[in-house]
Structure 1
Amino acid sequence: MIEEALDPDLTPRGRGEVLRAAARAPVRWPSGDFRPVSLATLYRWLAAYRRGGLDALCPEPRRDRGRRRRRLPADVVPEALRLLEADPHQPLGFLIAVLESQYRAQGREVRIPRSTLQRRLAETKAYERIRRARNRTRRRGRFVAAEPHERWQADAKGPFEVTITSGRRLGAHVLSIIDDATRAVLAARVVESPTTAEAVRVFRQAALRWGLCGAFYADRASIFDALSFRGGLAELGVHRIWTRAGNAPARGKIEAYHRTIESFVQRLKQQSVVDLVHLQQLLDGFLLGYYQQRRHRGIRQTPEEALAGRVSARTVPPTRLVDAFREERRLRAHRVTGEVDLQGATWIVPERLRGQRLVFLLDPPGEVPPVVVDPVTGKHLPLRRAEVRPEDVTPRAEPERWGEGPLQALYDAWTGRGRPQAQPGFGLPELYELLARVAGRHVPASDAEAARIQRVWRTHGPLARRPTEAALRQIGRALGPGRPIKAYLDALVARIRRPS
């Protein structure tokens, strides 16, 4: 199977293609089964052949070759099953120790290999029945923090696709931190890619507003297991709770919160999104205007009521939050200019440090400039920017972001900046038509009349179609045709203020 891959003229890529093709072809095994040989095995065979030829491909002799093998006594498996029936949760190592002790008490010296006993037990139906019963009786315990900020939970949800108004498609994730005791969202950020820098940024955002937590619970994602993130938590005195990878049921609270995020993603189908900043605004409005105000079944009150604005007793200044998460980078400064490239920019070290190999401390999100550690005093020295671009000095004026949709209405209501939202196909032209029917003439008859109707619409509109039609029908029956348009409008405004 590896003969073709031994060709010395093959490049590494070509050899890999040959071996991958061989790994897809099924072969007959000594057991009679048809299945392919794994790619790792083919590479191992190739390395062995190069090392020692055909002799190296022969199986290595067993370590116990030439010695008499001890068979497992026939009564070991039945006795092991009896002990497991009595205590299904006992570890296999403990079971072997008990069995060997029993045989020793009988004057028999029996050595029970762990793998042999495991294999023999797995062959019996009784052991499978014991395992099923053990899994049924195993129950997960629940944990919940007693006080706010005792434990925070964090996770990333995504990716989900968003089509912005320019037609470009964005892949987005939501990085969130919730409080374990109150289920309140402490920080949530929309990011294109979940990175360690974004994890630091969302934790820093929560800590600046609410203080520090006692313990931090997240899955084994690389962004939460990175050295800089774990080191920052340790320096701030935040305990990182160990969790097993792929154990979603143990993170039930934030998984339930993610179902709310899924609802947000579904609503995006009816929402116009300008860009990622606008998407962040919509998420803030959804979480703070809907999720935080909604009664939570687990705590029997809203997250906002449960948190009640309480902050942690453990607070640190912003500078400590920056210094805790800095990453070390060792680079040599240019011996003439003192320049060094860091985080996509060129910086200049102090003149006396030119040409030296130095330790630089970088902020993962890049929110603050890097610093250099003085090799003599250990002090943190500032760096000077080699090239200052206009965008580095003058903040760009962000354009107003607004898009039609239900999430925008929720955001506007949360910020107290409600915008008028008309019903489809009902505006000033339709109001002109309704007034014309009531007055029995063309409306508007003049610019002044049009301006009067427009002022009423701007002050009291937008109006709903059916209530407006019903109100004007009643007004027409009460006042009759031929009245000044002001009379109909005053009657309509009175009904808007005091519905009949």
Structure 2
Amino acid sequence: MRVLFSIFLGFMRVLGIQLIKSGARPHEVPYYGLCDYSPQTIASWLRDYRREGFEGLKPKRRSDRGRPRALSPELQEQLLALRQEERSCPASVFYEQLVAKGVILPDAVSYATIYRFLKSRGLLGREMRREPERKRFAYDTVNTLWQGDVAAGPYLRVGNKKVATFLFAFIDDCSRLVTFAQFFTSEKFESLKVVFKEAILRRGIPQMVYVDNGKIYRSEQLQLACAALGIALINTKPYDPQSKGKIERFFLTVRQRFLPLVKDEHLKSLDNLNRSFWQWLEEDYHRQVHSALGMSPLDKFMSQFSQVKMVSDPAVLEPLFFKREERRVHHDATISINKRLFEVPPQFIGNRVEVRFDPEKLERVLIFVAGKEVAVAQPVALSVNARAKRESKLSFASLQGGGQN
């Protein structure tokens, strides 16, 4: 027993030394730069990962989310009363008045806390919107940052109807190469998923992705897929298209150089439109010398291709974009997804499991427990089950005790 205890203490001592060494040096965090973490923080992350896997590292929501912890109920009532007296005063000036009057202490209550409190109550007042200072930037390495967005495309002429199209695209910040783009007739997440997945398969995995603040770009499916691939997903501020200057400039190029070339036969179907667009993209846009680069986007990207991190197994990519939900397994070892029944192994009867699936297709339904894939659910074929032979038949006589011995 003493020997085992000594071995355990030695293991913990080595682990502690490794954590101290790891915490003693700064770590490069995508988009945020160098960050310092204490050994206790790293140890807690390791403990959470060992206990729950990747799911244990996901941020936990505060139990008091949405309520300012620095403001007591009494102080909130006082702030509301004072704000009614200074309704048109800018929030910054109102905060300074609170500090000057001794209502709050700047070390205890920050301006951001007061601003969020006033905003939640609709009491910000009429404030002049300040335009953010903008500085032009460009990364020196390909696949460091991609910008993504969607733009309105031309109308298709299907019979007597006009059908709107939307161009989803991602562009590499360094080379201006369009990693992938495609026209769709829908603005839903499925369109975004197709383009983003194809861009990764063709051009590799970026370190960061800078996208709009729209619903599909804030979806849990996109966030989890990026996290699994080690991609930092960054959303722009609402109503700030200027922050994505390179993708917006590409859309302008499409309107100026591609759309004038579109003919009636290209607008008869979505396939015709995309084929003509992809031909223009590869033969024109990617091969034109860019004034800021001194070379074409394709040449710039290929000059650093040795640094590109490609996907090792394309089959692994699709499940990363699956929707994730919880289900309780019924007594007949089935679960229901979008009004369809699927069979799961009987050992999960009565338990809650995580299901991952593509809601548009439902071709594969994966079963996860504690963050690990444990089974693939199979669709229930009721007609087959009705014809299946049972191993034993129910005997009424045996139930009554009148069966023959």
TM range (shorter): 0.5 to 0.7
State which of 198, 202, 209 in structure 2 corresponds to 1:205.
198
Relative distance call for 1:272 and 1:209 in structure 2 (3 A) is closer
Whichever of the two has the greater Rg, that structure is 1
Q: 2:314 aligns with which of 287, 312, 318?
A: 318
State the alpha-carbon separation in 2 of the partners of residues 174 and 215 from structure 1: 21
- The 1:278–1:246 alpha-carbon spacing in structure 2 relative to 1, beyond 3 Å, is same
**Map of 1:325-404 to 2, 5 A cutoff?**
325-333=321-329, 335-336=331-332, 338=334, 340-342=336-338, 346-353=341-348, 357-363=352-358, 366=361, 369-374=364-369, 378-386=372-380
Structure 1, unaligned runs of 5 or more: 1-61, 71-90, 102-112, 116-121, 123-127, 389-500
Change (3 A) 1:304 1:174: same
Q: Which amino acid in structure 2 is aligned with residue 307 of structure 1?
A: F
Aligned alpha-carbon RMSD (Å): 4.1
Question: CA shift at 1:182, angstroms?
Answer: 0.7
> Partners in 2 of 1:275 and 1:367 — Cα distance?
27
* Equivalent position of 2:242 in the other structure: 249
Structure possessing the higher relative contact order (Cα contacts under 8 Å, 6 or more residues apart)? 2
- 1:146 equivalent to 2:140? Answer yes
1:267 counterpart (247, 253, 261): 261
8 Å Cα contact 1:198-1:365 kept in structure 2: no
CA distance 1:252–1:149, shift in 2 (3 Å): same
Q: Which residue of 2 aligns with 1:88?
A: none
Which of 225, 233, 241 matches 1:240? 233
- 1:306-355, Cα deviation, whole Å (9 max, x unpaired): 1127265433332442343332122345544736334x865333345466
**Aligned 1:140-179 pairs, distance under 5 A:** 140-158=134-152, 160-164=154-158, 166-179=159-172
> Is contact 2:217–2:235 with CA below 8 Å preserved after alignment?
no
Distance in 2, matches of 1:362 and 1:147, equals 35
Distance 2:177 2:248 in 1: 14
Q: Supply the AA of the counterpart residue of 2:272.
A: H
The alpha-carbon deviation at position 176 of structure 1 amounts to 0.4
Q: 1:223 aligns with which of 202, 216, 222?
A: 216
**Cα distance in 2, alignment partners of residues 270 and 197 from structure 1:** 27
Q: 1:331 to 1:290 in 2, by over 3 A?
A: same
Is residue 333–residue 348 contact of structure 2 (8 Å, CA) maintained in 1? Answer: no
Query: Judging changes above 3 Å, is the alpha-carbon distance between structure 1 residues 387 and 312 closer, same or farther for their aligned structure 2 residues?
Result: farther
Q: Which residue of 1 aligns with 2:182?
A: 189
CA distance in 2, matches of 1:331, 1:98: 52
Question: What does residue range 414-433 of structure 1 map to in structure 2 within 5 Å?
Answer: none
SS of residue in 2 equivalent to 1:383: strand
Structure-2 change in CA distance of 1:382 and 1:218 (3 Å) = same
Gaps of 5+ in 2: 1-79, 87-91, 103-113, 119-125, 383-405
Matches within 5 A, 1:58-73: 63=81
Specify whether residues 272 and 320 from structure 1 end up closer, same or farther in structure 2 by C-alpha distance, changes over 3 A only: closer
Distance 2:169 2:198 in 1: 11
- SS, match of residue 176 in structure 1: strand
Amino acid at match of 2:374: H
Residues 306 and 356 (structure 1), Cα distance of their counterparts in 2 relative to 1, 3 Å cut: same
- For the pair 1:289 / 2:283, whether they are aligned, the reply is yes
> What letter matches 1:277 in structure 2?
D
Q: Deviations for 1:169-225, whole angstroms, at most 9, x for unmatched residues?
A: 322111101100111111112221122232222211111122211111111011111
**Alpha-carbon deviation of 1:159?**
5.3
Letter of the aligned partner of 2:201 in structure 1?
L
2:100 and 2:326 map into 1 onto residues whose CA distance is 58
User: Taking every aligned residue pair, what percent have the same amino acid on both sides?
Assistant: 21
1:176 alignment partner AA: A
Instruction: Tell me which amino acid in the other structure corresponds to 2:364.
Output: P
- In the TM superposition, what whole-angstrom CA distance separates every residue of 1:111-141 from its partner, at most 9, and x where no partner exists? xx999xxxxxx9xxxxx9xx89x97xx7421
- Tell me the TM-score normalized by structure 1: 0.47
Contact 1:218 1:241 in 2 (8 A): yes
Gap change, CA 1:351 and 1:186, over 3 Å in 2: same
SS in 2 for 1:379: strand
What code does the residue aligned with 2:205 have?
L
CA contact (8 A) 1:154 1:177 kept: yes
* Letter matched to residue 325 of structure 1: F
Partner of 2:140, secondary structure, is: coil
Shift, 1:373, TM fit: 2.4
Q: How far does the alpha carbon of each residue in 1:64-122 deviate from its partner, in whole angstroms, 9 at most, with x for none? A: 8xxxx99xxxxxxxxxxxxxxxxxxxx75897699899xxxxxxxxxxx999xxxxxx9
Aligned residues of 1:211 and 1:311 also touching (Cα < 8 A): no
Distance in structure 2 (CA, Å) of the matches to 1:320 and 1:221: 27
Q: Is the 8 A contact 2:156 2:269 kept in 1?
A: no
Find the aligned partners of 2:325 and 2:189 in 1 and give their Cα distance: 16
Q: Does the 8 Å contact 2:204/2:308 carry over to 1?
A: yes
Q: Which amino acid aligns with 1:261?
A: V
The Cα of 1:151 is off from its aligned counterpart by 0.5
Give the deviation of 1:226 after TM superposition.
0.8
Task: Out of 362-371 and 296-305, give the one that drifted further.
Answer: 362-371
Distance 1:195 1:142, change over 3 A: same
Q: Secondary structure at the match of 1:308?
A: helix
